[in-house]
Amino acid sequence: MSPDETGYAGPNWYDVLDVDQSASGEEIRDAWRAAIADLTPADRRFRLYNQAAEVLLDPERRAAHDAELAAQHDAAEEQEQPDEAEQVAPRGAGGAPTPTPAPTGRGVPTWLLAVLAVAAAVALGVTAYLWTQPSEDAAEEAASEARSAAERAVVPLLSYDFETLEQDRAEAEELMTPDYQEKYDGLFSVIEENAPRTRTVVDVDVVASAVVRSGEDEDRWDILLFVDRPTTNKATEEPVVFKDQATLTMQRVDGEWLVDGLQTSPAQQ
């Protein structure tokens, strides 16, 4: 791998998607879509690319990743600086350089061990993620089912019409676990309070989706979706299209895939 803009040559999520560290959110999404285009959820590379996209499209996680890379870069630069004693070699009689005594019992500097440990952790973390994910037929089938269920569920979860709020709410709740329904009710109550006054209508179109993470078993998966939300209200007759990313946690309950968690954020950065 070639060094990225930080100068760090170890594996990182920018390298995984083959994008620059300055890449925009749209460039990252394009690279992610191209990378997974011909892969299936059971392919280890598929899950690795999804993990990279999840980190780099989340502003907080991307900032933390950038900070880690910058720290590694600074440590590497410090390692390359020669000591003052090495810059001016002492000379003995006749101007000949005085031989440098062999180190005795000094060992490897602690800071260097720390740098190497961090670099190794990054490498091992990416490798471990690549090789420890389930690849059995059952896991592939479960991931595919969870992904399809998430694509169907995200539409009623995020869309509503101020004239049919009660029906919209009921349709969405049928797709949730009881635990998440309790949280959703609190969120939807705000919509019920404001939508009639603003005459808001929100539609949802799924643009792309992918499996990004599995739980300890095959009954729980996180699905990343990119959606368009055309929205109108009494102030805008023409729809304004918001582009969001949503991560749905899908839980299999009695053979049915239900939403057990939802996180959304703007997809355009």
Nearest to 15, CA basis, from 27, 33, 3, 30: 3
Residue 7 lies in a domain: no
Separation in Å, CA 253 to CA 139, 178, 179, 259, 265 = 16, 11, 12, 10, 27
pLDDT for 161 equals 96
Out of 98-107, 136-145, 228-237, which region has the weakest mean confidence (pLDDT)? 98-107
- Between CA 49 and CA 215 the distance in angstroms is 17
Share of the chain above pLDDT 90, in %: 39
- The domain that contains 260 carries what CATH number? 3.10.450.230
Residue 249 lies in a domain: yes
Check whether residue 219 and residue 178 sit in a common domain. Answer: yes
- Between CA 50 and CA 205 the distance in angstroms is 20
Claim: this prediction has a pTM higher than 0.75: no
Check whether residue 254 and residue 207 sit in a common domain. Answer: yes
Check whether residue 75 and residue 125 sit in a common domain. Answer: yes
Check whether residue 173 and residue 55 sit in a common domain. Answer: no
Domain count, the chain: 2
Count other Cβ atoms within 10 Å, centred on residue 223. 26
Between vectors from CA 34 to CA 33 and to CA 37, what angle results, nearest 5°? 80
pLDDT digits (tens, 9 = 90+) for 150-200: 999 999 999 999 999 999 999 999 999 999 999 999 989 999 999 999 999
Domain region containing 120: 13-81+108-132
Kindly report the backbone phi and psi dihedral angles of residue 128, in degrees, each rounded to the nearest multiple of 5, phi listed first. -65, -40
Q: Is the pLDDT score of 261 beyond 90? A: yes
Q: Which of 73, 99, 132 is the last residue of a domain?
A: 132
pLDDT for 107 equals 52
**Which DSSP letter does residue 135 get?**
-
pLDDT for 119 equals 46
Check whether residue 75 and residue 161 sit in a common domain. Answer: no
Check whether residue 192 and residue 224 sit in a common domain. Answer: yes
Average pLDDT of the residues in 123-145: 60
Check whether residue 262 and residue 178 sit in a common domain. Answer: yes
